[in-house]
């Protein structure tokens, strides 16, 4: 009787915790949508800002964030997946690889401003890329690499050993085996983890603050060596640095809403790709 | 095992091992195994769990290479070639030495793609040729009639016994001479087991089959020769009839009469 009772209490508590999390997230979303939607319009997403962001749209910030994300994906995805393949399929499991893993996990926990400083030192100054899309993308890529590596390695390890054995026993080389019978089955997991990382990159302010983001630049970039505005940084400026912070409050909310929609779009894309691969390779 | 008199005079030895020792890291799993395995016969490896019979089987297609920290001493010849010599081609070896695993492991792809997988990686691109290979292999593995109308469906939907026959078809599709079977029926129901055993009986005239089994009745039913392993050593190797009627060694007799294992 007492055991049954404590079971009920635990169940109740766990459910309440879950509800409270959903509630908090729901409230944040509700607040952003309620305050941001009125200010959101086609002009807002398609026009250049005027009067240091107090009027006009946020097109350069949207384009800036998108180009940063594209750059980040181009750098981080191949590097991350290749590292994960090496760790999971090729590397011997010894003290050295254990140390590499520990380093990767530690890197995942490093504060993002440290990545910003690292990017400033290495890409902006030492490699002389200047504050640019290139430097910003590389910095963001470094920041999300650990996430991509760890989640990709887990996805690869989840593929049953039997598939590898069967393929090798048929005379396939190790790489043929990975390419045809390991990677395809783990792709949905790899993509999920990567999107998580990329979504985080989309919202980060600190790493781009020092490596790419422009305070106010009402034009589009011409090359990867240009500075750009970016949504999270623009939001930060509007909220804390703008002389008329109260007046631009609706614009802050609308900017946040656009950023949210962007990340949501990414996640949706990931879900669609996942469903596609789940269907194709059912196991 | 010095004497080779257990075979008829004209026997062609396809697999020959000499003083094979095998190690997992520091642990020695096989001790000084020398044996000759005849071509186009069924040879069964029996023995209690952990006796090294599966490890020994996996030496013939170098599958143990995929486990880090393993080491082999001694010589293993297949069709006259020392397969552990430097420069020996593992890919070519595994084309000639197919393997069927204990747990059926069809790829989560269509039945057709499963069987065509081997030929494709070895360079067969022509669709018509692949269709013929797939059909031939599935007929050989006695699965064709059950799946010919749904070759494009996912192999995971097949029953356990069908999956295992599909794995046999997949192995046959690359054209091996030797088939290694690692307890191929141990996870199957009795009916499916009999189908696999019948299939082995049909394949025995064209392939050299080495089968590891837990099931002594199975060894007695399907094999021509039987090797009994115990604690990493080859205790006795003889014609199956002799092993099961007049074993020479006390350990063999104890095992087959069910006194241990």
A256-278: pLDDT as tens digits: 999 999 989 988 888 888 888 87
Closest chain A residue by Cα to residue B101: A166
User: At A191, which CATH number?
Assistant: 1.10.3720.10
* Candidates B63, B93, B98; nearest CB to A165: B63
Whether A256 maps to a domain, the answer reads: yes
Measured distance CA(B35)–CA(B57) in Å, rounded:
12
A83-101: pLDDT as tens digits: 999 999 998 888 899 999 9
Closest C-alpha to A123, from A109, A137, A112: A137
Give the pLDDT mean for A2-13. Answer: 90
Whether A244 maps to a domain, the answer reads: yes
What pLDDT sits at residue B5? 64
What pLDDT sits at residue A283? 65
A167 lies in which domain range? 40-280
Inter-CA distances, B105 with A165, A173, B118, B170, B203, Å? 9, 18, 14, 11, 21
B232 token code pair: 């990493």
What pLDDT sits at residue B88? 83
State what percent of residues in chain A have pLDDT above 70. Answer: 99
Measured distance CA(A181)–CA(A174) in Å, rounded:
10
Q: Are strands B70-78 and B81-82 parallel, antiparallel or unpaired?
A: antiparallel
B71 token code pair: 């080491």
Q: Do A165 and B105 touch (CB under 8 A)?
A: yes
- What is the DSSP track for chain B? ----TTS-TT--EEEEEEEEEEEETTEEEEEEEEEEEETTSEEEEE-STTSSHHHHHTTTTTGGGGSTTEEEEEEEEETTEETTSTT--HHHHHHHEEEE-SS----SSBHHHHHHHHHHHTT---HHHHHHHHHHHHHHTT-HHHHTT-TTSBGGGS-HHHHHHHHHHHHHTT--SEEEEESTTTTS-HHHHHHHHHHHHHHTTTSEEEEE-S-HHHHHHH-SEEEEEETTEEEEEEEHHHHHHS-SSHHHHHHHTTS--
- Block residue for tokens 């292999």: B137
- Shortest CA gap B255–chain A (Å): 31
Report chain A's C-alpha Rg in angstroms: 22
Q: Do B63 and A168 touch (CB under 8 A)?
A: yes
Using DSSP, state whether A1 is helix, strand or coil. coil
Q: Within 13 Å of residue A220, how many CA atoms lie on the same side as its CB?
A: 9
Measured distance CA(A68)–CA(A132) in Å, rounded:
10
Measured distance CA(A199)–CA(A222) in Å, rounded:
25
Contacts of B230 (CB under 8 A, 6+ apart): B47, B48, B51, B251, B255
Whether A80 maps to a domain, the answer reads: yes
Whether A218 maps to a domain, the answer reads: yes
A45 or A22: which carries more pLDDT confidence?
Answer: A22
Measured distance CA(A114)–CA(A127) in Å, rounded:
18
Measured distance CA(A122)–CA(A108) in Å, rounded:
19
Chain B residues whose CB is inside 8 A of the A159 CB are none
* Candidates A92, A93, A171; nearest CB to B118: A171
- Shortest CA gap B118–chain A (Å): 6
Cα B184 to the center of its chain, rounded Å: 8
B250 Cβ under 8 Å from any chain A Cβ = no
State what percent of residues in chain A have pLDDT above 90. Answer: 54
Give residue A1's pLDDT band: very low, low, confident or very high (50, 70, 90): confident
Whether A15 maps to a domain, the answer reads: no
Q: Does position A210 have pLDDT exceeding 60, yes or no? A: yes
Backbone phi, then psi, for A204, in 5-degree steps? -75, 140
Whether A77 maps to a domain, the answer reads: yes
pLDDT in tens, chain B (261 residues): 445 467 887 788 899 999 999 999 999 999 999 999 999 999 999 999 989 999 999 999 999 988 888 999 999 999 989 999 888 899 999 999 999 999 999 999 999 999 999 999 999 999 999 999 999 999 999 999 999 999 999 999 999 999 999 999 999 999 999 999 999 998 889 999 999 999 999 999 999 999 999 889 999 999 999 999 999 999 999 999 999 999 999 999 999 888 775
A131-174: pLDDT as tens digits: 899 999 999 999 999 999 999 999 999 999 999 999 999 999 99
Whether A206 maps to a domain, the answer reads: yes
Inter-CA distances, B123 with A184, B91, B119, B175, Å? 20, 13, 6, 13
Side by side, the strands of the sheet bearing B178-182 are B97-100, B178-182, B208-212, B42-46, B225-230, B233-239
User: E strand or H helix at A55, and its extent?
Assistant: strand A55-56
B109 Cβ under 8 Å from any chain A Cβ = yes
- Shortest CA gap A227–chain B (Å): 47
- Give how many domains chain A has, as a whole number: 1
Whether A275 maps to a domain, the answer reads: yes
What pLDDT sits at residue A282? 67
Q: Do A168 and B66 touch (CB under 8 A)?
A: yes
Q: What burial class does residue A48 get, using C-beta atoms within 10 Å of its C-beta: 0-12 exposed, 13-18 middle, 19+ buried? A: middle
Q: Do A171 and B103 touch (CB under 8 A)?
A: no
User: Residue B120's CB: how many other CB atoms inside 10 A?
Assistant: 19
Measured distance CA(A36)–CA(A253) in Å, rounded:
4
Q: Does position A56 have pLDDT exceeding 90, yes or no? A: no
Closest chain A residue by Cα to residue B103: A162
Chain A residues whose CB is inside 8 A of the B118 CB are 170-172
Q: Do B61 and A169 touch (CB under 8 A)?
A: yes
Q: Do A282 and B108 touch (CB under 8 A)?
A: yes
Best of A169, A179, A180, A184 to substitute, by most chain B Cβ atoms within 10 angstroms, is A169
């Amino acid at each position: 009787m007492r055991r049954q009772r404590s079971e009920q209490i635990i169940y109740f508590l766990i459910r309440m915790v879950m509800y409270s999390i959903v509630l908090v997230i729901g409230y944040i979303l509700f607040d952003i949508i309620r305050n941001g939607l009125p200010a959101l319009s086609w002009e807002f997403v398609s026009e250049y800002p005027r009067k240091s962001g107090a009027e006009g749209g946020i097109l350069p910030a949207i384009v800036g964030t998108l180009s940063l994300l594209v750059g980040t994906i181009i750098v981080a995805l191949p590097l991350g997946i290749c590292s994960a393949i090496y760790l999971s399929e090729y590397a011997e499991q010894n003290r050295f690889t254990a140390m590499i893993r520990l380093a990767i996990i530690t890197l995942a926990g490093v504060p993002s401003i440290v990545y910003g400083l690292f990017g400033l030192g290495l890409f902006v100054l030492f490699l002389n890329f200047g504050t640019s899309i290139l430097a910003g993308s590389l910095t963001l890529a470094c920041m999300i690499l650990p996430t991509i590596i760890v989640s990709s390695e887990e996805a690869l390890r989840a593929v049953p050993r039997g598939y590898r054995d069967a393929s090798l026993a048929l005379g396939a080389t190790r790489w043929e085996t990975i390419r045809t019978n390991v990677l395809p089955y783990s792709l949905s997991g790899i993509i999920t983890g990567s999107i998580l990382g990329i979504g985080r990159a989309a919202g980060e302010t600190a790493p781009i603050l020092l490596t790419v983001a422009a305070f106010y630049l009402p034009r589009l970039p011409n090359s990867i060596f240009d500075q750009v505005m970016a949504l999270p940084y623009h939001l930060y400026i509007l909220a804390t640095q703008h002389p008329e912070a109260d007046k631009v409050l609706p614009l802050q909310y609308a900017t946040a809403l656009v950023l949210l929609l962007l990340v949501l779009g990414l996640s949706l894309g990931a879900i669609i790709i996942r469903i596609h691969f789940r269907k194709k390779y059912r196991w | 095992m010095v004497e080779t008199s257990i075979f008829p005079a004209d026997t062609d030895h396809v697999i020959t091992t000499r003083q094979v020792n095998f190690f997992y890291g520091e642990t020695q799993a096989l001790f000084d195994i020398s044996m000759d395995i005849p071509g186009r016969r069924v040879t069964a490896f029996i023995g209690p769990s952990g006796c090294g019979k599966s490890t020994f089987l996996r030496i013939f297609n170098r599958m143990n290479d995929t486990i880090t920290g393993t080491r082999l001493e001694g010589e293993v010849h297949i069709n006259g070639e020392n397969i552990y010599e430097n420069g020996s081609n593992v890919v070519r070896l595994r084309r000639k030495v197919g393997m069927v695993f204990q747990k059926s492991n069809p790829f989560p792809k269509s039945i057709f793609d499963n069987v065509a997988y081997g030929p494709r990686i070895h360079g067969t691109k022509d669709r018509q040729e692949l269709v013929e290979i797939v059909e031939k292999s599935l007929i050989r593995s006695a699965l064709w009639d059950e799946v010919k109308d749904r070759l494009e469906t996912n192999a995971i939907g097949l029953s356990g016994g069908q999956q295992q026959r599909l794995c046999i078809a997949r192995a046959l599709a690359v054209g091996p001479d030797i088939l290694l079977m690692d307890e191929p029926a141990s996870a199957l129901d009795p009916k499916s087991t009999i189908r696999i055993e019948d299939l082995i009986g049909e394949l025995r005239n064209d392939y050299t089959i080495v089968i590891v089994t837990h099931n002594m009745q199975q060894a007695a039913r399907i094999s021509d020769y039987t090797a009994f392993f115990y604690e990493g050593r080859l205790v006795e190797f003889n014609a199956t009839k002799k092993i099961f009627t007049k074993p020479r060694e006390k350990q063999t007799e104890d095992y087959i009469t069910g006194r241990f294992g």
